[in-house]
Amino acid sequence: MSEDTSRPFEPKIVAFFCNWCTYTAADLAGISRMQYAPNVRAIRLMCSGRVDPQFVLAAFHDGADGVLIGGCHPGDCHYQEGNHNARRRFELLRLMLRDMGIEDERVRLEWISAAEGDKVQRVCNEMTEQIRALGPLRLVTVPRWHAEEAPAEHVELVGQVTS
Amino acid sequence: MLEPDGNGGLTSQPISTNGSPKIGVYVCHCGLNIAGKVDVKAVVEFASTLPNVAVARDYKFMCSDPGQELIEKDLREGLINRVVVASCSPLMHEATFRRATAVGGQSPFYFQMASIREQVSWVVADGEDATDKAKALVAGAVRRVALHEYLEPRRADVHADVMIVGGGIAGIHAALTMAEAGKHVFLVERESTIGGHMAKFDKTFPTLDCAACILTPKMSQVRSHPNITLWTYSDVVGVEGYTGDFTVRVRHRPRYVKEELCTGCLECIEKCIHKQGKFADEWNEGLSKRKPIYIPFPQATPAVVDVDPEACIWFKTGKCPRTCIEACERDAFDFEQTETFDEVKVGAIVLATGFKAFDAARMPEYGYGLYPNVYTSLEIERLLNAAGPTGGEVVLRDGSHPKVVGIIHCVGSRDAKHNLWCSKVCCMYSLKLAHMVKERTGAEVYNFYIDMRTPGKGYEEFYDKILKEGVHMVRGRVAGVTDEAASPEEEGRLVIRAEDTLIGSVRRIPVDLVILAVGIEPQPDAQDVRRTFNISTGVEGFFTERHPKLAPVSTFTDGVFLAGACQGPKDIPETVAQAGAAAAEALAMVDRGFVMLEANTAFIDEAACSGCKTCVGLCPFSAIGFDEERQKAAVNEVVCKGCGVCVGACPSGAAQQHLFTDAQIFAEIEGVLAYV
């Protein structure tokens, strides 16, 4: 992507919203005319459990500065437990993204029920603000082992993944 | 053509059966809803530059007949073979445009929607930003639809029977409507009798006709109707399946009396070892006492007695001569009864689970539970009811008649501390109670209201009539109820302190009886019911309808419909109208005999499947089998619900989902990012 210097940096955020809760919540935000940052581009999936970690990587590869995943609250999944799967994958993916030098703020998993149009608004605005502050995504090109910090943090974090 | 691959799926390579993609992009103005913010012409121009786009047009209302005709004509003339409509949410009009695509002669799934109204024009403040976002979403849809595959719509048979959950007036009316149409109805009610709240009322506004006189005939019709299976003391504990083919598990709690044998003669109640009622009678809001064996009210349906094991001496100590059993000529008692379960298959479900009245104790300033003569409106309904604890007399706790009565409106409603919503029925029922209390006791009646809300046929006229009867109306929210007297005339009475905004002062009005007009709330277990039936609720807890205007009795789960106050506050006429509508919608579905299902099932690309079984264990519906011999997974398309969890987890990309293949989603990601 060539950088356009005439306009200040505006992050691009790709969102994966589940059909039943978060996409419906985004519809509700629309029906209620809640204004929020135009930076989020939503892709509808049937379930947050459909989110393949590769989608997130592909989004970053294709020029996204952030990725938002929205699913039903735990216990409310239209398909019983797809959102639990999404969460487990997300935690693992996050470790990998950290190793790639992608800041935590750039990937976010949120439970947003069909009634929470205001949460869509809040999360989209928050994320846009945070990523605007971070600046465009710049993937780390320096190999990890050249960095000064100890590379062991993911070892302790593995324990949190199982749930 | 695609060949079946022997495991219920189709071969996974996106082979187009309609030639190379020629995409038509249609951008809707939606009047000014979209065009007022998004530069529609710019979006069309942009779309025409995208790969594979053959036609790009805009139109005022794409969902209108001429709008759909645009698509159909372009398809028929061979200008295009795939369709993108940029308009409202797919939840709104996806079905409409898929139909148009099919009418144009293509598989309905050669279609993709870009939501540029709910996702763009209604939520983006700046016009330029909105146009950019609309372009990005259109590009995503164009990229994706180029990879759509030929799919046949799936058809599934619909079971002809229906289930109704909740036996209040909504459930009763829906049950009778469908039973009359020849469908078999399972009516499940958790209390021991049907009738719901309406059966507790004495009269109904604004006509003042007796609630029992209009309700009880319908109750007995339910009981005797050959097409209705009535299950009381029962609740739904599990729902499986999907629209047209639900398997519902119902639990029957023991009532210790065989329903089919009990004739409702009530001899056993007479002969119970307890000579007097001793336990709070729930039906009368605790205003009277009942025995451990009782019937809630004379016209209870079914007319079968209940045994309360918490109160019955036999259950508590095992020592009782059980005079009830001796009294029963039909030998209807069965103290060994335990929970039983039934599993039935139904095509559609109507939820009519009703409401809960606001708990007045949550507003201690009104003294409910502290001052004995502060009653809720439901308690007064029971006092006014001829079949109630006082035979229809409104009396204070000491048995004397009140001389001054105060009715406080909006208790729990329109209150930021409790419920924000208006409960819709309280103004009218408060006027009704004012009229009836005045008529029965001759008392002076004061109504304390915030606003009078009387929209409805004959409602304003009723208000007018009550005013002319001399009921006092004080406009203002009540600050509190106290027994602290500030003057001799307040001694020994309750004092209502309220602002009177019409005269601009604070008043203290001494009364003998306070009636709290409690509002309507969702049932306390509405969230459990929501989960069981896989539907949603609003933040306040009422069940959410599919569309507030155009699909008010449907839910987001196909085949599950809503009736009555479980969807939001409603009075009786509205509830009955909605129950009729829900019955009609359910009938339309089961009567046709089949439903069209989403084509978005998963399938396995056998060549790529390594036989790791990751998907098998993940599927929440056990839809994925495993062929041990060939070491390949296989999806059972009939059972698959199309969540795509297996697809997201498959390490080799062998599991795929129709309409949501990896390739299609990658293309959409690329599309929303590549241009703007």
Could you tell me the CATH number of the domain that includes residue B73? 3.40.50
B457 and B366 assigned to the same domain: yes
> Min CA distance, B114 vs chain A (Å)?
10
Domain count within chain B = 5
For A21, the closest chain B residue by CA position comes to B536
Q: Is pLDDT above 90 for B614?
A: yes
Nearest to B272 by CA among B290, B284, B255, B260: B290
More confident residue, B665 or A79: B665
Contact A79 B90 (CB under 8 A): no
Among B598, B618, B649, the domain boundary falls at: B598
pLDDT tens digits for B57-91?
999 999 999 999 999 999 999 999 999 999 999 98
Question: Which chain A positions have a beta carbon within 8 Å of B657's beta carbon?
Answer: 46, 50
Strand B655-657 and strand B602-604: the pairing is antiparallel
Q: Hey, what are B35's tokens?
A: 């065009």
DSSP states of A92-141? HHHHHHHHTT--GGGEEEEE--TT-HHHHHHHHHHHHHHHHHH-S-----
What's the token pair of residue B19?
A: 């030639």
Give yes or no for residue A161 having a pLDDT over 60: no
In a domain, A101, yes or no: yes
- Judged against a pLDDT cut of 90, whether residue B121 lies above it is answered with yes
CA distance A86 to chain B (A): 8
Q: Do residues B376 and B308 both lie within one domain?
A: no
B90-94, B379-383, B461-465: lowest mean pLDDT where?
B90-94
Whether residues B38 and B179 fall in one domain:
no
pTM of this prediction?
0.82
Confidence of residue A142 (pLDDT cuts 50, 70, 90): very low
pLDDT, average across residues A81-109: 94
- Could you give phi then psi for residue B464, rounded to 5 degrees? -60, -45
Q: What are the C-alpha distances in Å from B518 to residues A28, B29, B363, B409?
A: 30, 46, 10, 7
Co-location of B514 and B392 in the same domain: yes
Residue B585 within a domain: yes
B221–A contact, CB cutoff 8 A: no
Lowest mean pLDDT, pick from B16-20, B268-272, B289-293, B523-527 = B16-20
Whether residue B610 has pLDDT greater than 80: yes
Residues B141 and B25 in one domain: yes
B568 has a chain A CB within 8 A of its CB: no
Measured between CA atoms, the residue of chain A closest to residue B131 is: A38
For A55, nearest residue in chain B (alpha carbons): B666
Domain assignment present for B537? no
- Residue A7 predicted with pLDDT over 90: no
Question: Does A104 map to a domain?
Answer: yes
Reported confidence tier of residue A5, pLDDT bands at 50, 70, 90? low
Residues whose CB falls within 8 Å of the CB of residue B78, separated by 6 or more in sequence, listed in order:
none
Would an 8 Å CB–CB cutoff place A74 in contact with chain B?
no
Q: Flag whether pLDDT at B3 surpasses 60.
A: no
Residue that finishes a domain, picked among B545, B565, B598: B598
Q: Is the pLDDT of residue A153 over 60?
A: no
For residue B17, the model assigns a pLDDT of 61
Residue B138 and residue B211 share a domain: no
Q: pLDDT for B387-412, tens place per residue?
A: 899 999 999 999 999 999 999 999 99
For B325-340, how does the pLDDT look when each residue is reduced to its tens digit (9 = 90+)? Answer: 999 999 999 999 999 9
Q: How confident is the model at residue A157 (pLDDT cuts 50, 70, 90)?
A: very low
The neighbouring-strand residues paired with B627 are B632
Residue B338 within a domain: no
A30 and B643: CB-CB below 8 Å?
A: no
Residue range B211-230: average pLDDT?
95
pLDDT at B13: 40
Residue B93 in this model has a pLDDT that exceeds 60: yes
Domain assignment present for B252: no
For residue B150, pLDDT beyond 70: yes
| Contacts (Cβ under 8 Å, ≥6 apart) of A127 | A13, A40, A66, A68, A105, A108
Hey, are the CB atoms on B662 and A52 less than 8 Å from each other?
yes
CATH number at residue B400: 3.50.50.60
* In the block, residue with structure tokens 């209940």: B306
Confirm or reject contact between A93 and chain B (CB < 8 A). no
User: Which tokens in the block code for residue B357?
Assistant: 């009245």
Determine, yes or no, domain membership for A91: yes
Mean pLDDT of B603-629: 93
Please report which confidence band the pLDDT of residue A144 belongs to, taking 50, 70 and 90 as the band edges: very low
Cβ pair A58:B669 closer than 8 A: yes
Judging contacts by C-beta atoms under 8 Å, the chain A residues touching residue B37 are none
- Is there a contact between A33 and B649 if contact means CB atoms under 8 Å apart? no
CATH number, domain containing residue B608: 3.30.70.20
In a domain, A43, yes or no: yes
Whether B10 maps to a domain, the answer reads no
B158 in a domain, yes or no?
Answer: no
| Residue B540 falls inside a structural domain | no
Helices and strands of chain B, counted as H and E runs: 17, 34
Distances from the Cα of B172 to the Cαs of B121, B409, B578, B597, in angstroms? Answer: 44, 29, 12, 30
A-B interface: how many C-beta pairs under 8 angstroms? Answer: 143
- Whether B436 and B393 map to the same domain: the answer is yes
Same domain, B188 and B130: no
| In a shared domain, residues B182 and B275 | no
Chain B stretch 510-539, residues whose beta carbon is closer than 8 A to a beta carbon of chain A: 530-531, 534, 536-539
Give residues 586 to 645 of B whose Cβ lies within 8 Å of A: 600, 618, 620-621, 641-645
**CB–CB contact A50 B536 (8 Å):** no
Q: What is the average pLDDT value for chain A, to the nearest integer?
A: 85
pLDDT tens-digit map of B479-533 = 999 999 999 999 999 999 999 999 999 999 999 999 999 999 999 999 999 989 9
Mark which of B494, B521, B548 sits at the end of a domain.
Answer: B521
Interface predicted TM-score (ipTM): 0.85
Report yes or no on A5 lying in a domain.
no
User: What per-residue confidence (pLDDT) applies to B536?
Assistant: 87
Q: Do B662 and A35 touch (CB under 8 A)?
A: no
B275 and B319 in one domain?
yes
What is the least distance, in Å, from the CA of A27 to any CA of chain B? 5
Given a contact cutoff of 8 angstroms between Cβ atoms, the answer to whether A69 and A86 are in contact is yes
Tell me the pLDDT tens digit for each residue of B620-653. Answer: 888 999 999 999 999 988 788 899 999 999 999 9
Task: Specify the CATH number for the domain of residue A101.
Answer: 3.40.50
Shortest distance, CA A43 to any CA of chain B (angstroms): 8
Number of domains in chain A: 1
Please check whether residues B368 and B515 belong to one and the same domain: yes
Give exposure, B371-393, as e/b (b: 16+ Cβ within 10 Å): bebbbbbbbbbbbbbebbbbeee
Residue B210 DSSP SS3: strand
A78 closest CB neighbour out of B91, B123, B534: B534
Angle, vertex CA A45, rays to CA A44 and CA A49, nearest 5: 145
Q: Answer whether residue B541 is part of any domain.
A: no
Whether residue B144 has pLDDT greater than 60: yes
A88 and B CB contact within 8 Å: no
Separation of alpha carbons B472 and B475, rounded Å: 10
| B411/B489 same-domain check | yes
Structural domain boundaries enclosing A113: 13-161
Question: Would you say residue B447 has pLDDT above 90?
Answer: yes
Identify the CATH number of the domain in which residue B237 sits. Answer: 3.40.50.720
- Domain of residue B585: give its range: 165-247+345-354+557-598
